[in-house]
């Protein structure tokens, strides 16, 4: 082969995995566990340029990460929740048919067609805001205090000022804390009220969110219909 032909022949780049700086600095990556970060590299290493589909079972994730089932599943769920990958087809494991789950990478277009753009959902992901609501016990027990405040609220007895005074009078006993997840919009009155309306929280948490909402918005219990 002549030297001119050797110079004109393009050299194919070795297969590799890319993580761009803007990806490394986004919240979806900075808040991820080390297991999820490692699994992201494994997913991108399996990417097929001809078709955006990665076949990967939990067992194979365990082998590649050298971890147990729970850690492998947790890492996978982190990537799904933050938008690094999406599930195209669920896996099926039967006696005669074993199919791994099919995933797609969102940093690449889902289909190889002209004009297709990647979803990159991870670039829009924001961590939920967590606030800590203190549970205060009164001179008796926490249960006594909670029942007393619930009865006051249900009866419409007392204003915001009265409730605040009653709350401050109960600080003689140690506090315990509960973390409640709020949407990324923040801790304004609307977010507090929406969180208090969630069916996923208990009555105790709902009570404290409503109390926080009243204090933030300045609404008296008597003004609530």
Residue 54 to residue 60: CA distance in whole angstroms: 12
Those residues of the chain that have pLDDT short of 50 are 95, 134-142, 159-161, 163-165, 167-177, 182-183, 185-186, 220-225
- pLDDT, position 138: 39
**Residues 175, 119: one domain?**
no
**Residues 47, 118: one domain?**
yes
The DSSP letter of residue 51 is: B
Domain range holding 99? Answer: 17-123
pTM tops 0.75, yes or no:
no
Residue 50 to residue 67: CA distance in whole angstroms: 30
Residue 145 to residue 150: CA distance in whole angstroms: 9
**Residues 95, 137: one domain?**
no
**Residues 147, 193: one domain?**
yes
139: three-class secondary structure by DSSP = coil
**Residues 116, 137: one domain?**
no
CA 201 to chain CA centroid, Å, is 17
Listed residues 77, 108, 123: the one ending a domain: 123
203 is written with which tokens? 């009555």
Tell me if 10 is assigned to some domain.
no
**Residues 76, 115: one domain?**
yes
Listed residues 95, 123, 151: the one ending a domain: 123
Tell me if 12 is assigned to some domain.
no
CB atoms within 10 A of CB 170: 16
Half-sphere CA count of 171, side-chain side, radius 13 A:
6
- pLDDT, position 80: 96
Domain count, the chain: 2
């Amino acid at each position: 082969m002549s030297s001119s032909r050797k110079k004109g022949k393009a050299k194919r780049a070795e297969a590799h995995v890319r993580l761009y700086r803007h990806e490394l600095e986004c919240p979806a990556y900075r808040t991820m566990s080390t297991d999820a970060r490692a699994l992201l590299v494994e997913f991108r290493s399996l990417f097929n340029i001809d078709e955006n589909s990665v076949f990967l079972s939990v067992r194979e994730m365990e082998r590649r990460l050298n971890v147990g089932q729970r850690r492998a599943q947790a890492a996978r769920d982190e990537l799904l929740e933050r938008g690094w990958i999406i599930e195209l087809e669920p896996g099926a494991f039967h006696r005669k048919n074993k199919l791994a789950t099919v995933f797609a990478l969102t940093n690449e277009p889902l289909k190889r067609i002209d004009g297709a753009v990647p979803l990159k959902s991870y670039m829009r992901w924001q961590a939920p805001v967590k606030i800590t609501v203190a549970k205060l016990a009164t001179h008796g027990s926490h249960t006594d205090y909670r029942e007393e405040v619930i009865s006051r609220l249900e009866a419409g007895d007392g204003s915001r000022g009265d409730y605040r005074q009653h709350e401050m009078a109960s600080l003689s006993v140690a506090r315990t804390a509960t973390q409640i997840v709020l949407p990324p919009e923040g801790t304004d009155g609307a977010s507090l009220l929406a969180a208090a309306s969630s069916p996923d929280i208990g009555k105790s948490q709902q009570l404290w969110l409503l109390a926080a909402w009243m204090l933030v918005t300045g609404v008296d219990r008597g003004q609530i219909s």
